[in-house]
C-alpha cells in the first residue's frame, strides 16, 4: 500500500496484512462470509503547517472488497495530549476517497498535532485500528497494528494558550421541596474568558443511588446563565436527591468536575474538587416507589433456519406494572464472536409485544448465530440483563441472570460453496524473445461458475489495489510484472488468487566507459566498457577504434600510442533492443615543455626588477607557465614578473602542457633594497629635565647595511656622530640627525628637543582669617616658575596626606588647623613647604532641659537648662514661656499656673553660632474631675448610667461600688435587678492623678410577682404558653394588668424577646431608623449580629412594623438552628420563607390553619408569638397531631 502526503511518498510494508485479507482468517468458513476488515491503501494530509483559521484536509484511500466500507475516522491529538480532534471521513463519490477536514482554532495548542489512530469499519462490523507508533497511543487496541504516522504531523503555530477549564461562579436550584409533576429549574453562572464554554451538565442522584437525572444546561441569552430543568415523575424515589457532580467543558476540551463533598460520589475525578452542594438538595415527597426492573415473560424468534437475504423477526412479551417499560433490546452474536447484530424491540400496540427484526446479509457468517443477551429498562432506570447461559457472554453483568437461549439460535446456511474459475490470455504486437516482450501486452480475463454465477472478476498489478475487470487491459510497465486475478460468485465464494509473471523490456541497454582524461593524457590508458539493462539483461557489447572493424568486447582496451584516437561502442539486450552508437576521444602526449628567463645581474637593486619568461611544447601545446617568489603560491605567468619585495628573492618557474606533463622547476635569486636605514636617539627626556642630558644615537639597516650617521645642533653644521652628545645649558635645544646605507638610501632628517630647568617655583597664600570663623573660608594659593612652568600646587592639613590644589580651598573643618603648602614645576623641582593656621567652628551649642515628662502634673514644676560647646565655647543661654519675652537663663524656670505651657530655649557660642530653638511642654492640673449619675427603669431592673468630665487632663477612669462592695471600673450601663434599696457609690480619677471625692445615690427595685395572672388571658388558647414565658422573665404585660394576646407584636419586641432568651450581648445597631437611645437598640443590634433578624436593602429595620408569620418562622428557625423539612402547607410553595416554615412544621412548632394553609404574610399576634417561642423551649407544648 502506498501512502502519499504532498510530494512525499511512504511505502508501508503491509504485504502480510494483504495476504490475510486475501486468504481469510484461519478456522472460519470463508465462502459467502466477510471476516476481514477494510484496508487502508493511502493517506494524504493537505497541510503540515497551519495557523488560526486554516483548514486541514485529510483524504484516505480505504477499500473493502466484500461487504463494503461502513465508517472511516481519524483522531489527531494535541501536544502532551491536552486536547484532540476526532474527524469522520466521508466518501467523496467524485474522487472515490474518504475525505474530511478540521479547522485550527484560536486556542488550539501550538506545536506538533499527531495522529493518535485511524479507524476503519465494514458493513459486517469488522473493524481495525491503525495506531501511531510515533508518539501516539500508549496501548495497542484489539485488532490493530502500529504505523509510523510521524510524517503526517500538523505543526500548529500562532495560536493562543488556553489550559484553564471554565469556572462555576453561582448555582441556583428552585424549588427544592417538590412532588409529582413539579419542574425543578437549575441555573448556573459559568464563565470561560478564553476559548469559551462548550458544555455544562449536572447529575442529580436519588437517595441510596438507585436512580439519577442527568441534565444538560444550555445558555439562556436573556439571562446569560446556563439553564435546564427536570420533572418529578410518579415513581421518582422520595427523599433527598443530591447533586452527584456538576461538569464544565470549554471549546479547547479543558474540563472540570465539581463533586459533591456531602454524600456525593465516592471517588474524586481527575481535574476536580469537592464542593458542599448540600444546600441544593431537592427534597421529593408524595411519590410512589419502583425498584423492580421489567420482566421477560415470553420470547419468539422466527424463522430460525435461514439463508442470506431472509428477515428474522423477534417478539418479546415484557411487562412492568409500575413506571412502565422504557427500552427492550437483544444482541445476536455470530459464530466465534466475529460479528454481532444489536436489535431494538419497539412496542407493537396491535400485539402488545416488543418487536424487531434483522436481515441476513450477503456476507454474514454461516453457522449458529446465538443470543448474547436480552436487555430491559423501565422509566425509573431499573434495568436487567438476561444473559445466554449457552455459549453467550463470558461474564455476568450487574443485575442479571443466565437463561438458556439455545432454542432461539438462528442458523445461517450456505447454498453455493464452490468458488468460480478464471482464465488469462496474453497477446502482444511483437513476438516474445527469451521469455521477454519488447512491447506492451494485452491481458484478457474470463471466468465461469456452475451455480450462483459470476458476481465480479478483479485483478491487481504488483500487489496494488484490486480493480474490477470489465474489458481487456494493456500492461505497459517494464520489468517483471506480477498480475494477480480472481473471481467472486453471487454466493460470496472467492476464488484462490492466481498469479502470472509477465516480462516486458522496451528499453535498450546503456553502456558507460571507465573514467578517461577529458583532453590530452600523458600515460597509456586502459578503457573499460560496462553495460546495464534493468529488465531482460545485457546480451553483448562491441567496439571499434578509428573507424576500424567492430570487435566483441570482453577485456579492457589498451591505448599506448601518442596522438589522437576515436573509439565507438554499443550494446544489445536479451530482448533484442540495440543501443545507439556512442563515441569517446582519447589524446596522448608523453613529452614536457621548455621555459627560459630574461637576463638579470646578481647585485643589490634599490628599485623594482622586471623579468620575462618564454615557453614551448611540440604536441599538446603549453597549457600554462607559472612562477612563484620565495616559495609562495604558484602564479600563472602572463606578460612579465615584477620583483618588488625587498631582500634576496628566489624566483622559481616552470611550464605544463595540455597533457599534464610538468617541466622541472628552474630558479633565479634577485636582491632588492629600497629602504633607508633607521636611526634612534636614546635616553631623551619626554619633557623638561632638571638634570644635564647625554644623547646617544644608533642606526640599523636589515638589507645592504649602514654606511654612516650624522647630526647638527640648533641649525649648526652637520657632523659625523661617534660619541654621545652632552647638553647642560638651561632652556630649549634642538638636535637633528640621519643615516645613509650601502646602496645610497638616505634617511629622512629626524630631530629631538631637549629642555632643561634646574630652579624650583615660588608659592603665595591669601584669605586666611585672623579669629574663629563660623562660615566657610576660601584659602587661595598661587605659584610662579620662569622656565618649565608650574606643574602642580599641593597642600596638606594637620600633617595629613598631600593633596593637589585645583582652586580655592573651601575650609570647613572644625577646630584649630595647620595647613602646609608648596609647588612643583614641570621639570620636577620641588619648593620648600610653608605653613598657616585656621580656626573654624560652625556647630551651634547644645542645650537640654531637665526631664519633666509628657504627663500631667498636679503641683508646680521647675525646668533646669544646661548647655555645652566643645570648640569656641558657650557665650549665653536664654528662654521664654509661651509667647513671652526672651530672658537670659541663670536659675531653673518655675511653672506654677494650671494648663499646658511651652518653655522655649536656645544658646549662642563664641563664634556667633545660634542654636535652633527647642521647647518642652509642661502640663499642670490640680483640679479633680466631676461625675453625675442617672437611672432608667427597664424590664426586670434599673439601668444606672455614670457620666464624668475633666476640663484639663481628662478623665482616666470612673469606678463604682454597690452597697459598700468592691470598687468596679465603669465601662457601660450597669443593671441593678435585685429587689430592695441599694446605695451606689461612685467617683472619677483624671490623668493628672486627681481623685474625685466619693458621691452616693440610692436605687430602689420593686419587682412584680411572676405568678401574676393577666385578666384578659383566662381561658385563652395560649394561656399556658404566655404564663410560661412570663414566669421566665421573657415577656411582660401592661400596667393595667392585661397581656393583650391578640395585639400584633412588632419587630423590635420580637428582637428583644429572642435576644433576652438567648442571653445575647447587647450591641449598637447600624440601622438608620434605630437611634442609640431607642429602647430596643441593643437587642436589635444583637439579633442582627447573630443573623437572626435582618434589615431592609435601604439600611432600615422598621422596628415598629408588625411582624409577619413568615418572619416569625424565619426568626425561630435561625435562632434555635432547627433542622428538618416537610411539605404540608398549600400556600407556601415558592414563598421566600418556605423552607423555614416547613422546618417549623417538621419540628411540631406549628400546624397552620384547618384549611391546610399557613398564611405567611398575615401579621402575628402576641399570643401566636408566645406559642412559637414556648414550643421551641418546652417540648410539652409542641403539637402532637
DSSP 920-953: EEEEE-----EEEEEEEEETTEEEEEEEEE-SSS
593 lies in some domain = no
Statement: residue 685 has pLDDT above 90: no
Residue 806: pLDDT over 60: yes
Q: pLDDT band for position 566 (50/70/90)?
A: very high
Q: How would residue 104 be classed by pLDDT, with cut points 50, 70 and 90?
A: very high
- Residue 196's nearest CA partner among 226, 154, 151, 172 is 226
Instruction: Give the mean pLDDT of 684-713.
Output: 88
**Do residue 718 and residue 622 come from a single domain?**
no
Is 35 part of any domain?
yes
Backbone angles phi, psi at 209, to 5 degrees: 70, 25
Mean pLDDT of 525-535: 92
**Whole-number pLDDT of residue 54:** 94
| Nearby residues of 201 by Cβ (< 8 Å), 6 or more positions away | 214, 215, 216, 217, 246, 247
- Weakest-pLDDT range from 389-393, 897-901, 982-986: 389-393
Q: Collapsing DSSP states into helix, strand and coil, what is residue 978?
A: coil
Task: Point out the domain boundary residue: 454, 477, 504.
Answer: 504
Residue 541 or residue 1005, greater confidence: 541
Residue 694 lies in a domain: yes
Q: Which of 428, 431, 425 is nearest to 575 (CA)?
A: 431
Whether residue 303 has a cis bond before it, omega within 30° of 0: yes
| CA atoms within a 13 Å half-sphere pointing along the CA-CB vector of 852 | 27
Share of the chain above pLDDT 90, in %: 45
Residue 916 has pLDDT above 50, yes or no: yes
- 284 alpha-carbon distance from chain centroid: 45
Question: Which one of 756, 791, 812 terminates a domain?
Answer: 756
Q: Is 120 helix (H, G, I), strand (E, B) or coil?
A: strand
Give the span between the Cα atoms of 73 and 86, in whole angstroms. 7
Q: Span 453-478, mean pLDDT?
A: 93
Given pLDDT bands bounded at 50, 70 and 90, which one contains residue 432? confident
**How far apart (Å, rounded) are the C-alpha atoms in residues 487 and 470?**
12
Query: How much is the pLDDT for 14?
Result: 31
Task: Give me the pLDDT at residue 873, please.
Answer: 86
**Same domain, yes or no: 1041 and 1162:** yes
Shared domain check, 185 and 105:
no
According to DSSP, the residues that pair with 649 across neighbouring strands are: 670
- List beta partners, residue 247: 201, 257
Q: Is residue 162 one of the residues assigned to a domain?
A: no
**What digits encode the pLDDT tens for the residues 709-726?**
999 998 889 998 988 988
Count how many Cα atoms sit within 13 Å of the Cα of residue 702 in the half-sphere of its side chain: 6
874 vs 845: CA distance, rounded Å: 6
Q: How far apart are CA 954 and CA 929, in angstroms?
A: 8
Q: Which three cell numbers stand for residue 941?
A: 431592673
Cβ atoms within 10 Å of 642's Cβ, excluding its own: 11
CB contact at 8 A, 370 and 332 = yes
Instruction: Please give the pLDDT value at position 896.
Output: 86
Residue 732: phi, psi to the nearest 5?
A: -110, 130
Q: Are residues 1038 and 997 in the same domain?
A: no
Q: How confident is the model over 304-324, as pLDDT tens digits?
A: 999 878 999 999 999 999 889
Lowest mean per-residue pLDDT among 295-304, 384-393, 604-613: 384-393
Residues near 80 by Cβ (< 8 Å), separated by ≥ 6? 109
pLDDT digits (tens, 9 = 90+) for 639-667: 999 999 988 999 999 999 888 899 999 99
Q: Is residue 1013 part of a domain?
A: no
Q: How far is CA 445 from CA 442, 454, 457, 469, 487, in A?
A: 10, 13, 8, 8, 10
| Same domain (yes/no): 1029, 1169 | yes
Q: What pLDDT does residue 940 have?
A: 62
Same domain flag for 336 and 404: yes
Range name among 360-364, 775-779, 841-845, 1026-1030 with the lowest pLDDT average: 360-364
Average pLDDT across the chain, whole number: 87
Residue 817 confidence class, pLDDT cut points 50, 70, 90: confident
- Provide DSSP, 864-898: -EEEE-SSS-EEEEEEEETT---EE--SPEEE-SS
pLDDT above 60 for 268: no
Q: What is the pLDDT of residue 11?
A: 29
- What are the pLDDT digits (tens) for 948-972? 888 888 898 999 999 998 999 888 7
pLDDT for residue 692: 86
Please state the rounded mean pLDDT for residues 470-497: 90
- Say yes or no: 185 and 233 in one domain: yes
Q: Quick one: 454 and 331 in the same domain?
A: no
CATH number at residue 551: 2.60.40.10
Among 467, 488, 504, give the residue marking a domain's end. 504
More confident residue, 635 or 35: 635
DSSP 193: S
Q: Exposed, middle or buried: residue 225 (CB in 10 Å: 0-12, 13-18, 19+)?
A: buried
**Residue 820 structural domain:** 762-840
Q: Are 745 and 675 in contact (CB under 8 A)?
A: yes
Q: Do residue 784 and residue 698 come from a single domain? A: no
Closest Cα partner for 470 from 504, 452, 445?
445
pLDDT in tens, 114-137: 999 999 999 888 899 999 986 545
Which pLDDT value is given to residue 173? 96
Same domain? For 1057 and 1078 the reply is yes
Mean pLDDT within 917-943: 84
Residue identified by cell 418546652 is 1178
pLDDT for the residue numbered 793: 93
Give how many domains the chain has, as a whole number.
11
Q: Which residues contact 236 (CB under 8 A, 6 or more apart)?
A: 180, 206, 211, 284, 287, 380
pLDDT band at 1022 (very low <50, low <70, confident <90, very high): confident
| More reliable by pLDDT, 482 or 519 | 482
What's the confidence (pLDDT) of residue 606?
A: 87
Angstrom distance (rounded) from CA 1046 to CA 1033: 20
Q: Are residues 730 and 865 in the same domain?
A: no
CATH of the domain at 347: 2.60.40.1930
Q: Is the pLDDT of residue 2 over 70?
A: no
Asked if the structure places residue 594 within a domain, the reply is no
Do 40 and 139 sit in the same domain of this protein? Answer: yes
- How much is the average pLDDT of 433-461? 90
Query: Is residue 15 predicted with pLDDT exceeding 50?
Result: no
User: What confidence score (pLDDT) does residue 253 get?
Assistant: 85
Per-residue pLDDT reduced to its tens digit, 980-1002: 888 999 999 999 889 999 999 98
Amino acid at each position: 500500500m502506498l501512502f502519499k502526503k504532498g510530494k512525499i511518498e511512504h511505502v508501508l510494508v503491509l504485504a502480510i496484512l494483504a495476504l490475510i485479507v486475501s486468504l481469510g482468517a484461519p478456522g472460519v468458513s470463508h465462502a459467502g462470509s466477510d471476516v476481514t476488515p477494510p484496508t487502508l491503501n493511502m493517506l494524504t494530509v493537505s497541510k503540515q503547517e497551519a495557523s488560526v483559521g486554516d483548514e486541514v484536509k485529510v483524504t484516505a484511500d480505504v477499500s473493502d472488497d466484500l461487504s463494503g466500507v461502513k465508517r472511516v475516522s481519524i483522531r489527531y491529538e494535541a501536544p502532551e495530549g491536552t486536547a484532540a480532534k476526532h474527524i469522520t471521513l466521508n466518501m467523496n463519490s467524485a474522487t472515490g476517497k474518504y475525505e474530511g477536514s478540521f479547522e485550527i482554532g484560536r486556542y488550539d495548542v501550538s506545536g506538533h498535532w499527531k495522529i493518535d489512530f485511524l479507524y476503519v469499519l465494514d458493513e459486517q462490523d469488522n473493524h481495525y485500528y491503525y495506531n501511531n507508533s510515533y508518539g501516539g497511543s500508549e496501548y495497542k487496541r484489539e485488532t490493530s497494528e502500529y504505523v509510523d504516522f510521524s510524517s503526517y504531523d500538523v505543526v500548529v503555530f500562532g495560536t493562543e494558550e488556553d489550559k484553564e477549564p471554565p469556572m462555576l461562579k453561582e448555582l441556583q436550584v428552585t424549588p427544592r421541596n417538590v412532588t409529582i409533576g413539579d419542574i425543578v429549574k437549575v441555573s448556573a453562572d459559568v464563565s470561560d474568558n478564553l476559548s469559551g464554554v462548550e458544555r455544562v451538565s449536572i447529575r442529580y442522584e436519588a437517595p441510596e443511588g438507585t436512580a439519577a437525572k442527568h441534565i444538560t444546561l444550555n445558555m439562556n441569552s436573556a439571562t446569560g446563565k446556563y439553564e435546564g430543568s427536570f420533572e418529578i415523575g410518579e415513581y421518582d424515589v422520595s427523599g433527598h436527591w443530591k447533586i452527584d457532580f456538576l461538569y464544565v467543558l470549554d471549546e479547547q476540551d479543558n474540563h472540570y468536575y465539581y463533586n459533591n463533598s456531602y454524600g456525593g460520589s465516592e471517588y474524586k475525578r481527575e481535574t476536580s474538587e469537592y464542593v458542599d452542594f448540600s444546600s441544593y438538595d431537592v427534597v421529593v415527597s408524595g411519590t410512589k416507589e419502583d425498584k423492580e426492573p421489567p420482566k421477560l415473560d415470553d420470547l419468539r424468534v422466527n424463522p430460525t433456519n435461514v439463508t442470506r437475504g431472509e428477515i428474522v423477526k423477534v417478539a418479546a412479551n415484557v411487562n412492568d406494572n409500575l413506571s412502565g417499560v422504557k427500552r427492550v433490546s437483544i444482541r445476536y452474536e455470530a459464530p466465534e464472536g466475529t460479528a454481532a447484530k444489536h436489535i431494538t424491540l419497539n412496542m407493537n400496540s396491535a400485539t402488545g409485544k416488543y418487536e424487531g427484526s434483522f436481515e441476513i446479509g450477503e456476507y454474514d457468517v454461516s453457522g449458529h448465530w446465538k443470543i448474547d443477551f436480552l436487555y430491559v429498562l423501565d422509566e425509573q432506570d431499573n434495568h436487567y440483563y438476561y444473559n445466554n447461559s449457552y455459549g453467550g457472554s463470558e461474564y455476568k453483568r450487574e443485575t442479571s441472570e443466565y437463561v438458556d437461549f439455545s432454542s432461539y439460535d438462528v442458523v445461517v446456511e450456505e447454498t453455493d460453496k464452490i468458488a468460480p474459475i478464471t482464465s488469462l490470455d496474453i497477446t502482444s504486437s511483437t513476438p516474445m524473445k527469451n521469455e521477454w516482450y519488447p512491447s506492451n501486452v494485452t491481458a484478457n480475463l474470463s471466468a465461469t461458475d456452475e451455480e450462483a454465477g459470476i458476481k465480479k472478476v478483479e485483478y491487481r498489478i504488483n500487489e496494488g489495489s484490486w480493480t474490477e475487470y470489465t474489458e481487456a487491459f494493456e500492461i505497459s510497465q517494464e520489468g517483471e510484472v506480477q498480475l494477480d486475478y480472481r473471481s467472486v460468485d453471487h454466493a460470496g465464494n472467492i476464488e484462490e488468487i492466481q498469479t502470472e509473471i509477465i516480462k516486458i523490456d522496451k528499453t535498450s541497454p546503456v553502456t558507460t566507459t571507465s573514467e578517461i582524461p577529458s583532453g590530452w593524457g600523458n600515460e597509456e590508458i586502459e578503457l573499460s566498457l560496462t553495460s546495464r539493462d534493468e529488465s531482460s539483461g545485457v546480451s553483448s557489447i562491441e567496439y571499434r577504434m578509428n573507424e576500424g572493424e567492430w570487435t566483441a568486447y570482453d577485456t579492457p582496451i589498451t591505448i599506448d600510442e601518442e596522438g589522437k584516437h576515436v573509439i565507438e561502442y554499443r550494446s544489445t539486450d536479451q530482448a533484442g533492443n540495440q543501443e545507439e552508437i556512442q563515441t569517446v576521444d582519447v589524446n596522448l602526449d608523453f613529452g614536457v615543455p621548455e621555459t627560459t628567463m630574461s637576463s638579470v645581474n646578481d647585485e643589490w637593486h634599490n628599485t623594482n626588477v622586471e623579468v620575462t619568461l618564454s615557453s614551448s611544447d611540440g604536441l599538446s601545446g603549453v597549457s600554462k607557465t607559472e612562477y612563484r617568489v620565495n616559495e609562495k603560491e604558484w602564479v600563472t605567468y602572463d606578460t612579465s614578473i615584477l620583483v618588488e619585495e625587498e631582500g634576496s628573492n628566489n624566483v622559481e618557474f616552470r611550464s605544463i602542457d595540455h597533457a599534464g606533463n610538468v617541466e622541472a622547476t628552474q630558479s633565479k635569486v634577485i636582491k632588492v633594497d629600497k629602504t633607508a636605514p633607521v636611526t634612534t636617539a636614546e635616553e631623551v627626556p619626554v619633557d623638561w629635565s632638571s638634570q644635564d642630558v647625554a644623547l646617544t644615537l644608533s642606526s640599523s639597516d636589515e638589507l645592504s647595511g649602514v654606511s654612516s650617521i650624522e647630526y647638527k645642533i640648533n641649525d649648526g653644521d652637520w657632523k659625523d656622530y661617534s660619541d654621545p652628545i652632552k647638553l647642560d645649558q638651561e632652556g630649549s635645544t634642538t638636535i637633528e640627525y640621519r643615516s645613509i646605507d650601502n646602496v645610497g638610501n638616505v634617511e629622512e632628517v629626524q630631530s629631538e628637543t631637549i629642555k632643561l630647568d634646574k630652579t624650583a617655583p615660588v608659592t603665595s597664600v591669601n584669605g586666611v582669617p585672623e579669629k574663629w570663623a563660623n562660615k566657610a573660608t576660601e584659602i587661595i594659593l598661587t605659584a610662579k616658575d620662569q622656565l618649565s612652568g608650574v606643574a602642580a600646587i599641593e597642600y596638606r592639613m594637620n600633617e595629613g596626606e598631600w593633596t593637589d590644589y585645583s582652586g580655592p580651598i573651601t575650609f570647613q573643618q572644625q577646630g584649630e588647623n595647620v595647613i602646609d603648602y608648596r609647588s612643583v614645576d614641570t621639570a620636577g623641582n620641588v619648593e620648600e613647604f610653608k605653613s598657616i593656621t585656621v580656626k573654624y567652628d560652625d556647630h551651634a551649642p547644645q542645650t537640654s532641659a531637665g526631664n519633666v515628662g509628657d504627663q500631667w502634673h498636679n503641683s508646680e514644676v521647675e525646668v533646669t537648662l544646661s548647655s555645652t560647646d566643645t570648640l569656641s565655647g558657650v557665650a549665653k543661654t536664654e528662654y521664654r514661656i509661651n509667647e513671652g519675652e526672651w530672658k537670659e537663663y541663670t536659675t531653673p524656670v518655675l511653672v506654677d499656673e494650671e494648663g499646658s505651657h511651652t518653655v522655649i530655649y536656645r544658646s549662642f557660642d563664641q563664634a556667633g553660632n545660634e542654636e535652633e530653638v527647642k521647647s518642652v511642654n509642661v502640663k499642670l492640673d490640680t483640679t479633680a474631675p466631676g461625675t453625675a449619675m442617672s437611672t432608667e427603669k427597664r424590664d426586670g431592673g434599673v439601668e444606672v448610667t455614670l457620666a464624668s468630665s475633666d476640663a484639663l487632663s481628662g478623665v482616666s477612669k470612673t469606678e463604682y461600688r454597690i452597697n459598700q462592695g468592691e470598687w468596679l471600673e465603669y465601662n457601660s450601663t450597669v443593671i441593678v435587678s435585685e429587689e430592695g434599696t441599694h446605695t451606689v457609690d461612685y467617683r472619677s480619677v483624671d490623668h493628672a492623678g486627681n481623685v474625685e471625692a466619693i458621691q452616693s445615690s440610692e436605687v430602689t427595685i420593686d419587682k412584680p410577682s411572676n405568678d401574676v395572672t393577666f385578666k384578659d388571658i383566662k381561658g385563652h388558647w395560649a394561656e399556658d404558653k404566655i404564663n410560661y414565658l412570663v414566669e421566665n422573665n421573657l415577656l411582660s404585660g401592661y400596667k393595667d394588668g392585661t397581656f393583650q394576646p391578640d395585639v400584633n407584636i412588632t419587630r423590635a419586641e420580637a428582637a428583644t424577646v429572642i435576644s433576652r432568651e438567648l442571653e445575647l450581648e447587647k450591641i449598637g445597631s447600624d440601622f438608620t431608623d434605630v437611634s442609640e437611645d431607642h429602647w430596643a437598640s441593643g437587642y436589635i443590634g444583637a439579633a442582627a449580629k447573630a443573623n437572626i433578624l435582618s434589615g431592609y436593602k435601604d439600611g432600615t429595620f422598621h422596628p415598629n412594623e408588625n411582624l409577619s408569620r413568615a418572619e416569625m418562622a424565619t426568626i425561630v428557625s435561625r435562632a434555635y438552628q432547627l433542622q428538618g423539612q416537610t411539605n404540608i402547607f398549600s400556600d407556601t410553595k415558592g414563598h421566600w420563607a418556605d423552607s423555614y416554615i416547613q422546618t417549623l412544621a417538621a419540628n411540631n412548632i406549628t400546624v397552620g390553619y384547618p384549611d391546610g394553609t399557613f398564611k405567611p404574610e398575615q401579621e402575628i399576634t402576641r399570643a401566636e408569638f408566645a406559642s412559637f417561642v414556648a414550643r421551641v423551649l418546652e417540648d410539652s407544648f409542641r403539637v402532637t397531631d
